A and B are shown apart, each in its own frame.
Chain A
């Protein structure tokens, strides 16, 4: 490794104006291991690159140093040139004598000396460079989509339509997610289910999509292109092949008064149930915690009524392992329990409801079949107060962030209410109105101007009952904080959107990171918004932060394109700048002692445990192993390793040491 070529670039006048390039080249020629040293006007030009290619061949170079601009600029260029000449590209390094020298210092002897120093250290590094080879990882072209809401559905369809297999896992008995619960959607007011259900059906019928509902992902091992997911298919207690979805069993069930999850507790369902009429798959499941048979051992009414004998009380949970190449996490969000705010009276007064409950009240498929009737007595409310930021933007009691969708759906609620109850009055308490999407502000304006929704800027301090009315006390800050008191028939709280209850566990199972609100974290907030830090795992929808439908769908498609791009190759090629745990001759096998400090330090969960065994299979010890599929090459583990058993290719201990020491070599 000691036939190094040094190529000093003038960069026109950019370097040569302040640095004596010829002198740099001459000084470097004197250094041990330098076989060739030359300066040239434009190294990155075709003739310049040719110079390098020819020198590699003619002088049989074993290393190349290009002293020119920042490696962040042209390192790929010169490495490619080296590769073309048959030299391993990782034996080429750049010395930055432009940005770090010629441009920041005046023309002087000192500047030239600094340039020589810079080149010298890089030569020292190159002496220790090792040829590296891109890491090839095979790709299993199947995607796992976790969550069957609109984001998951969109991602699954996009990936499947690109010709790849998709496994969609949904923990509820039906896909559809929150969007299926919505009445109409802003700002167009088209029917949510009308636009969603065709997609749901498409998923169910798509030949490339395998749908597991009532199932959860328990763990994920492996790495990009090569994950193994462990999925628990909860026992539905029916034989899906035999079930026709006729619904006889549902009618037969004697237990009928279970609050319906789909209707947010405003309606009821039996113990064997289909969550909603358009459910996909449209087949019932038995809620074993409520079923009389499972609780007492007697009943089986449903079984007796089933025409196809599809009921299976003895069914067990089934755990399957699937191999996938990429994972899309689209587990969505939930709304903050409003009991959080006792002053708003949620839970205390039946007619104080959440936004999502109000959606069900407005929905044609809801408990009131689309008529606006209040939960307490079924009367049509004449005065409805909407309170936004119920929990959002409230660091003291709730959450500090903005839930983003509330302003819009509250406007929609008020508007729909007015459309249905023409003589009704709608009030909205708000802090700010955030309506920044396409047609959004117009939509809010319409609510105020055309539908005469009364917007009051101020916070609600208290909600209480008086003479059968719900009194909302607040202040109108636009009127100098004048107290406002409204006797309402109904109150709707725009509760904050928060992460799902199991988000933390899921993140840990998938080895992805999450923020302090338990929303999953993207790899980069600006430039890699749909990727996680774990290569091969992507995010879509509101599991990352609250989002509206178009945003969720947009992100889902973006994610799908990432997955499809990943699946466009049979093998992944990765930069070989990864960490490696050393191996040495027996009886040591490796100097790693398995303290696994690196494991906690690694931001990518790339450190695994590996059992070292002798040839006859006896366990020597358990040491760390870097999964090259996951390692991103930050080298944090390297600096932590006490015994120096782990090293980073491309920035190895020897290389960095040589660079530092060379700086002071006389």
Chain B
């Protein structure tokens, strides 16, 4: 028996050893070895990938982004497609699970051979797919505001980076004469990074940060935090909470007798869709910092809102990430047409300087950072659930993901 099992073991080991030896590929020290899969454009259609969580905790937000991408695709197809080819969308579910995002990204690139992928919401999902896109030299369009500090050659960032959302939010508070802030956020990358920036800004601009608290993701118990916020007597609260936590936070906030008048809250993760889920009775008068609202004036937005409501229902609001996703598809189309090719490297080369009359106003692709220049807008939540602009930056802000042009931020990255 022993000898018998011994033989099995020996056999197994030999197999492993041979296989491993035969399989030895390139070393990390070799030159970059990514092969790159070229998109399949042989037919009269071109495939693009949609990578969003359609199930799981993130589905709440990401489904609306997917809807918005589909709208853009339809519009483009109705207008004749891209380089004469109709866009064929391939939708994949990231299932709110980061390895699944990586798996599906790989599938879209190598199996479906899409020309570009649109999607991802959380930073974690973007970080998970980033190596996949870099390895395969494929393109991702990421449509959500994020914490900056990233610049991948194979990702276009169509949401705001920190200097297009957080910094303008602070500028606004400063202009309003607010001298002290309290920071409340969910415990993950974006809030922690954002709050680091806020503290550096506050120090340089004579504001005090009276406290900084984080709630675990999904936490719905805010008694303690609101208690601390209230006793801090800060002039304003900067809120980077995410998802469900916002609901619990604002209900607690209102119950504690705090109002937009006594202590305004600037939120960076509450868009029109979230307002519906929290309830206007808890939110009226509170502030948000984004680049787009459903109420943003302009013909482009009127057309976008009308088309969206016609397709998905009159009660569905449009929001910043949805708009950024919609813009992403149109920007990709413009890039491809300027390059005259679907080839990723040529598209990247053509990207710089491309502008688009977006619902949020004119946006311009910044070649070096692959982010886009956009206008910052501070809005106030109304009793009707819509957000109306109370301040904007006047002109599009050049993206600066590492905040290199801000002296006070020199220690940050």
Q: Indicate whether A and B interact.
A: no
Binding site for B on A (CB under 8 A): none
